[in-house]
């Protein structure tokens, strides 16, 4: 499992002209990629890591201040582009595998106490954000 986590002042997802998820910051925008071997251990680790990571101002975590989290599925995080000009997506799990894992990460974040907004799995999404800092980290398990 791989995530790109950004500290944001605001973020939103729009699908077909309709806002489907939005947060006002301070908060976290999480792009989440799932690979074939990801399961419950990775779900628990990633949710806990995102929730407790001290990325907000004054070294606070989202859990410290109850900051909202917008989670967007992004299989392209497992794109491989070392050879040639066209990336491959073989390391990304197919939708029938990755969607339940994505849902489980969101549910685990909510269980931990997060207010979670979501993108629409598999949709053509437009993501808008105001990165704060900018602060961006990559997490991988």
Domain parsing of the chain, residue ranges: 2-140
Select which of 6, 14, 75, 136 is catalytic. Answer: 75
Select which of 60, 76, 90, 126 is catalytic. Answer: 76
Q: Tell me, yes or no, if 126 is annotated catalytic.
A: no
DSSP β-bridge partners for residue 69: 28, 116
Select which of 6, 14, 35, 74 is catalytic. Answer: 74
C-alpha angle 38-45-93 in degrees, rounded to nearest 5: 20
Q: What is d(CA 78, CA 1) in angstroms, rounded to the nearest whole number?
A: 9
pLDDT at 25: 82
Mean pLDDT, 10 residues at a time, over the chain (141 residues)? Answer: 98 97 96 97 98 97 98 96 92 96 98 97 97 97 92
The owner of tokens 């986590």 is: 5
pTM of the prediction? 0.96
Q: Which CATH number fits domain 2-140: 3.40.50.880, 3.50.80.10, 3.40.50.1100, 3.20.20.70?
A: 3.50.80.10
As a residue count, the chain comes to 141
Q: Tell me, yes or no, if 76 is annotated catalytic.
A: yes
- Other C-beta atoms closer than 10 Å to the C-beta of 71 total 27
């Amino acid at each position: 499992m791989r995530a790109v986590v950004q500290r944001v002042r605001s973020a939103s997802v729009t699908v077909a002209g309709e806002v489907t998820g939005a947060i006002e910051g301070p908060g976290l925008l999480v792009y989440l990629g799932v690979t074939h071997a990801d399961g419950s251990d990775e779900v628990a680790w990633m949710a806990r890591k995102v929730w407790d990571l001290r990325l907000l101002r004054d070294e606070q975590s989202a859990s410290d201040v109850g900051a909202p989290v917008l989670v967007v599925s992004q299989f392209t995080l497992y794109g491989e582009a070392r050879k040639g000009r066209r990336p491959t997506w073989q390391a990304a799990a197919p939708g029938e595998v990755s969607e339940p894992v994505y849902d489980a990460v969101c549910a685990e974040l909510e269980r931990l106490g997060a207010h979670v907004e979501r993108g629409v799995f598999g949709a053509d999404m437009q993501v808008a954000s105001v990165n704060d800092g900018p602060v961006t980290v990559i997490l991988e398990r």
